[in-house]
Amino acid sequence: MYKSGKRYFDFKTYLINRFEEKVYKVTIDAGFSCPNRDGLVGFGGCVYCDGRGSRYRKNGKVIVPIEEQIKLGKEFYKKTQNAKKFFAYFQTFTNTYSDVKTLEKIYKIPLKDNEIVGISIGTRPDCIDNEKLDLIDSLNKYDKEIWIEYGLQSIHDSTLKFINRGHSLQQFIEAIELTTKKNIKICVHIIVGLPYENYDMIMETAQFVSKLPIHGLKIHCLLVLKGTLLEKIYQKEKFRLLTMDEYVKIVVDILEILPQNLVIQRLTADGYKDIFIAPEWAKNKLKVLNAINKELEDRNSYQGKFFKS
């Protein structure tokens, strides 16, 4: 059992262990675009991506300066949770998609804040190189925790092609190899329930991830959202979506084969209520999380039970 009472190593427990109190995530939209949307890699983006970005862009508002976003995020958690420590998450689109000088200016903003204990930079595996990683590594001088997050989604190139990811498994492997040479923590994202992926394919992705030299994992449930390419494919092909029971059992199967020290940052998808189409059950995040906890209890199981190094 972890401090949170969970049977898996959740991010909350990790942060409390590391920083001796609860740490709250402040999300940042630094104004980046995505090479899979603007034509550099592809057009239209990943089929499931709604392309709206942060709540600023969604509402057609101007993106406020990063300093202001941090201030607003911190104020919210201070007021509602009496928060004292924060983690800055560069979340919107591809947060390494610029030149090194610009990136340095942007990344430094939260690092100068004494209440921010770390940053996390979300990006694509084909949008990183040694120069950018050297820059990110150099941020360790601020004595904060530095994470990078790579979207993998699936190890199957046929699926990556179908969902229009615009990169291959090989590109992901190269990004991981480059990153492990630096002092940067790595979190990987995968999606469970991708069109035409069967159980074995999902577990092959999980097995692959379980052997990676990484520190964190986010497991997302595939959502069909209004206005996405996936919505059109779903309407036309009516591919099968997982039931909640199937999703829960698969997630627990995945947790069982992961190493115990891999931090689980996410176990389902979140938000999107205004453009949500399917699967209906995924709207209720808490219910899904409770069902995962119950399945672990019923099996008397835990993260890493069947991990093979």
Binding residues (CB under 6 A) for ligand SF4: these are: 34, 36-37, 45-46, 49, 93-94, 124, 151
The residue whose Cβ lies closest to ligand SF4 is 45
Minimum CB distance to ligand SF4, residue 74 (Å): 25
The distance of closest approach from Cβ of residue 191 to ligand SF4 in the complex, given in angstroms and rounded to an integer, is 10
| Closest separation in Å from C-beta 184 to ligand SF4 | 19
CB of 305 to ligand SF4, least distance (A): 32
Least separation, in Å, of the C-beta of 34 and ligand SF4? 3
By beta-carbon proximity to ligand SF4, the closer residue of 123 and 303 is 123
Beta bridge partners of 220: 191
Q: How far is CA 137 from its chain centroid?
A: 20
Q: Which is nearer to ligand SF4, 85 or 124 (CB)?
A: 124
Within 8 A by CB and 6+ apart from 145, the residues are 18, 87, 117, 118, 119, 185
Q: What residues contact 112, with CB distance under 8 A and at least 6 apart?
A: 142
CB-nearer residue toward ligand SF4: 194 or 258: 194
Which residues have CB under 8 Å from 7's CB, separation 6+? 1, 255, 293, 296, 297, 301, 302, 303
Task: Give the distance from CA 115 to its chain's centroid.
Answer: 23
Nearer residue to ligand SF4 within complex by CB, 30 or 34? 34
Q: Smallest gap, in angstroms, from Cβ of residue 111 to ligand SF4? A: 24
SS3 107: helix
CB closer to ligand SF4 out of 45 and 193 = 45
- Which runs of consecutive H residues, i.e. helices, occur in 184-260? 199-210, 229-237, 244-257
Nearer to ligand SF4, 69 or 94 (CB): 94
Q: Is the dihedral of CA 268, 151, 63, 102 positive or negative?
A: positive
Q: What is the DSSP letter of 65?
A: P
What is the closest distance, in whole angstroms, from the C-beta atom of residue 162 to ligand SF4 in the complex? 13
Closer residue to ligand SF4, CB minimum distance, 45 or 73? 45
- Work out the end-to-end distance of the chain between its first and last CA atoms, rounded to an integer number of angstroms: 21
With 0-12 CB in 10 A as exposed, 13-18 as middle and 19+ as buried, what is 9?
A: buried
